[in-house]
């Protein structure tokens, strides 16, 4: 344990910045800190309670009797503090708040770094110092290679239900490092996105209704254990994204709600404050102290836990005033989000700031100096809803929903998009992705492979919720682990192989990610074949003639000698086919190279003839002449061996 060399009281400058809304490391001022001052080691507690008549500190160190530990109010705006000349690390504590209407409240510390395991609710004095990080190589790499032109395939995980022990208990953060990280690496995902891990009282809220924004939930271990998990991810080449909820919070009695007997963190106006859909309270995003609290929280996870990004939950709920039949824009939220993004990118320009926004708000991913909100990514909810509506339709009816596939390309470059198949789509009676697919058993798997193939080849970065990679048949059961016994069944094992190979193929081919955010990276070949529900298009990289031709067949009919227009006069090789028997398909593949004919078709100067698999996706690439081959994979090895022989 190390002691911070800080004053026994917050400084006037810190207090000024906090009330101004610009103290972006307010976690160093508030909460419980082990400090050394003038040779005395002690513990300083500070809290903001602007409406309180008095505040006392109670805990395991004073028998939960605060009469000898009153906090001193150091300004008229409600900052209270106390210094106890004793190292109280490991002790439980709460604030005993005496309100203006004669109530006495027991509140957990909003800035506590560690909390009791639910259902207990006390805060714990905890020092975050002392962890030795080993992720310098990862930090250098992510700063050297921004995400925009790199592959990004995110695995969304709920730690409490990914895998459980035989007795039903949770794996710890450290045990998850041993179980989850190798699995993610084997599957080829680039990042893990964790459902919220701030302290929360109810398991079934999945962390979206929090009480301890600075406490990594104690369900899985200590904050240092969580640091270890992230460090191990980074050493394995995996980024970590936190699902984060700055819009609303839990109303449990020990939490932020009516913290000092009056609206403190929430809006004063009940219509703006209450969120009846989720049973939560909305943060007052116009209040400077709340902005200091929330923006500091993002920087806190970055500084102490080396988080690589945030998926910001329910942005629409912030952008528009709640409980209104008309969409009224909330200017406080707009300004907050802009200041948030400016602050985090000043700290780490490589950060991923991802908006979960279901609206058509413009410039979500545009810089703030251009009038944008300042995120660098947004979930493409429109694409997700459209393609799932299309896939859930009977194949013979898809021709009437042709626009559900084509529409996304009309706006694909208006924002930097991530294409999400998230937990929200496989819970609450919506069925799993596999079970959304119509038809018989094998047809469901074929269409899911097709859907994943289309996900991988459509412009935009990718996200898949846990269980989707092996075809979880039931929807997500948040109290149970994933159905790992499905690996006993051949089709699920083959689905797992398919997803691994698909992600590997995606990561190896620059046309699938390098120009994700530029219209130069995509070109339709045939967008009009609604009758057969066949779509074909070209993906391109920055390098001239480095292309892939993608053909998707959304019906169960196979076609032979099918003409497809191509942009280059070349011989094409099938590089990927979802219908391969290895993946559980029927084996309608193109074994032989296909030489382009000098005859225009589909508006292209040349065409090839190929086999189109049923419910399948086929990806073709032009074969390079010997002198044009890239020096990777087998070719690189061949040259290395030849070079050794000739030296």
Catalytic residue among 284, 356, 425, 526: 356
Q: How far is CA 68 from CA 51, 71, 108, in A?
A: 22, 10, 19
Are 179 and 171 in contact, with CB atoms under 8 Å apart? yes
What is the signed CA dihedral for 358, 401, 536, 565, rounded to 10 degrees? -140
How far apart are the C-alpha atoms of 231 and 285, rounded to whole Å? 33
Alpha helices in 601-632 (DSSP H): none
User: What CA–CA distance (Å, rounded) separates 196 from 241?
Assistant: 10
Q: Is 313 a catalytic site residue?
A: yes
Helix extents (H) in 67-172: 136-144, 159-162
**Strand 352-355 vs strand 377-379: parallel, antiparallel, or unpaired?**
parallel
Give the Cα separation of 45 and 9 in Å (integer): 9
Contact 170, 133 (CB under 8 A): no
Cis peptide before 619 (omega within 30 of 0): no
Beta bridge partners of 616: 553
Neighbours of 394 (CB within 10 A): 8
β-bridge mates for residue 105, sequence order = 97
Structure tokens at 99: 């309100």
Active-site pick, 193, 313, 526, 579: 313
What would the two tokens of residue 363 be? 């410039």
Distant-in-sequence, close-in-space partners of 117: CB < 8 Å, separation ≥ 6: 218, 219
Contact 503, 187 (CB under 8 A): yes
Distance CA 376, CA 248 (A): 22
The dihedral of CA 76, 77, 83, 88: what is its sign? positive
Beta strands in 444-521 (DSSP E): 461-465
Indicate the pairing of strand 547-553 with strand 534-540.
antiparallel
Q: Report the candidate in 564, 464, 557, 566 with the shortest Cα–Cα distance to residue 506.
A: 464
What are the phi and psi torsion angles at 68 (to 5°)? -95, 5
d(C-alpha 541, C-alpha 514), whole Å:
6
Residue 337 tokens, joined: 């989000």
How many beta carbons lie within 10 A of that of residue 372, not counting itself? 19
Is the CB of residue 24 less than 8 Å from the CB of residue 149? no
Cβ atoms of 576 and 619 closer than 8 Å: yes
Q: What are the b/e assignments for 332-347, b being 16+ CB within 10 Å? A: bbbebbbbbbebbbee
The crossing angle, in degrees rounded to 10, of helices 173-187 and 223-235 is 20
Evaluate whether 420 touches 380 at the Cβ level (below 8 Å): yes
> 547 by DSSP, 3-state: which?
strand
List the catalytic residues. 313, 356
């Amino acid at each position: 344990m190390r002691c911070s060399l800080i004053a026994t009281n917050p400084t006037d400058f810190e207090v000024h910045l906090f009330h101004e809304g610009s103290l972006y490391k307010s976690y160093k001022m508030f909460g419980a800190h082990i400090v050394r001052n003038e040779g005395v080691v002690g513990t300083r507690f500070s809290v903001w309670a602007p409406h309180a008549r008095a505040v006392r500190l109670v805990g395991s160190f004073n028998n939960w009797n605060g009469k000898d530990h009153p906090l001193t109010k150091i300004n008229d705006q409600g900052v209270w503090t106390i210094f106890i000349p004793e190292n109280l690390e490991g002790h439980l504590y709460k604030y005993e708040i005496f309100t203006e209407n004669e109530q006495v409240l027991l509140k957990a510390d909003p800035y506590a770094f560690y909390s009791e395991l639910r259902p207990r609710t006390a805060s714990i004095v905890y020092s975050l110092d002392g962890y030795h990080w080993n992720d310098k190589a990862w930090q250098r790499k992510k700063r050297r290679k921004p995400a925009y032109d790199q592959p990004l395939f995110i695995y969304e995980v709920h730690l409490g239900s990914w895998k459980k022990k035989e007795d039903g208990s949770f794996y710890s953060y450290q045990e998850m490092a041993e179980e989850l990280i190798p699995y993610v690496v084997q599957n080829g995902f680039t990042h893990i996105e964790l459902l919220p891990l701030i302290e929360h009282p109810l398991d079934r809220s999945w962390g979206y209704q929090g009480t301890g924004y600075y406490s990594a939930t104690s369900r899985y271990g200590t904050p240092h254990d969580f640091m270890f998990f992230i460090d191990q991810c980074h050493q394995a080449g995996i980024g970590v994204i936190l699902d984060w909820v700055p819009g609303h919070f839990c109303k449990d009695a020990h939490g932020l709600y009516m913290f000092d007997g009056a609206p403190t963190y929430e809006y004063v106006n009940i219509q703006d404050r209450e969120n009846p859909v989720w049973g939560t309270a909305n943060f007052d995003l116009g209040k400077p102290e709340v902005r200091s609290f929330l923006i500091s929280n993002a920087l806190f996870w970055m500084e102490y836990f080396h988080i690589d990004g945030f998926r910001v939950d329910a942005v629409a709920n912030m952008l528009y005033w709640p409980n209104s039949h008309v969409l009224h824009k909330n200017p406080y939220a707009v300004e907050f989000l802009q200041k948030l993004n400016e602050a985090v990118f000043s700290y780490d320009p490589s950060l991923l700031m991802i908006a979960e926004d279901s609206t058509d708000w413009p410039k979500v991913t545009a810089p703030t100096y251009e009038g944008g909100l300042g995120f660098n990514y947004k979930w493409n909810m429109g694409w997700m809803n459209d393609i799932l509506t299309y896939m859930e339709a009977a194949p013979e009816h898809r021709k009437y929903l042709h626009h559900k596939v084509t529409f996304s390309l009309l706006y694909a470059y208006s924002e930097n998009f991530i294409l999400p198949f998230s937990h929200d789509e496989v819970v609450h009676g919506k069925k799993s992705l596999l079970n959304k697919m119509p038809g018989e058993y094998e047809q469901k798997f074929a269409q899911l492979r097709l859907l994943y193939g289309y996900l991988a080849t459509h412009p935009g970065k990718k996200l898949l919720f846990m269980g989707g990679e092996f075809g979880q048949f039931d929807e997500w059961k948040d109290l149970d682990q994933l159905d790992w016994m499905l690996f006993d069944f051949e089709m699920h094992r083959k689905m797992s192989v398919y997803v691994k190979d698909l992600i590997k193929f995606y990561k190896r081919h620059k046309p699938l990610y390098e120009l994700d955010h530029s219209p130069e990276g995509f070109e339709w070949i045939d967008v009009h074949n609604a009758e057969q529900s066949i779509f074909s298009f070209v993906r391109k990289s920055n390098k001239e003639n480095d292309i892939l031709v993608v053909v998707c067949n959304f019906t169960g009919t196979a076609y032979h000698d099918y003409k497809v227009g191509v942009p280059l006069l070349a011989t094409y090789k099938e590089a990927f086919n979802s219908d391969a028997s290895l993946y559980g398909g029927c084996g309608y593949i193109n074994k032989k190279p296909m030489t382009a004919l000098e005859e225009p078709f589909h508006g292209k100067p040349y065409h090839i003839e190929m086999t189109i698999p049923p419910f399948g996706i086929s990806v073709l690439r032009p074969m390079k002449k010997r002198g044009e081959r890239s020096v990777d994979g087998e070719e690189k090895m061949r040259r290395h061996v030849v070079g050794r022989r000739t030296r």
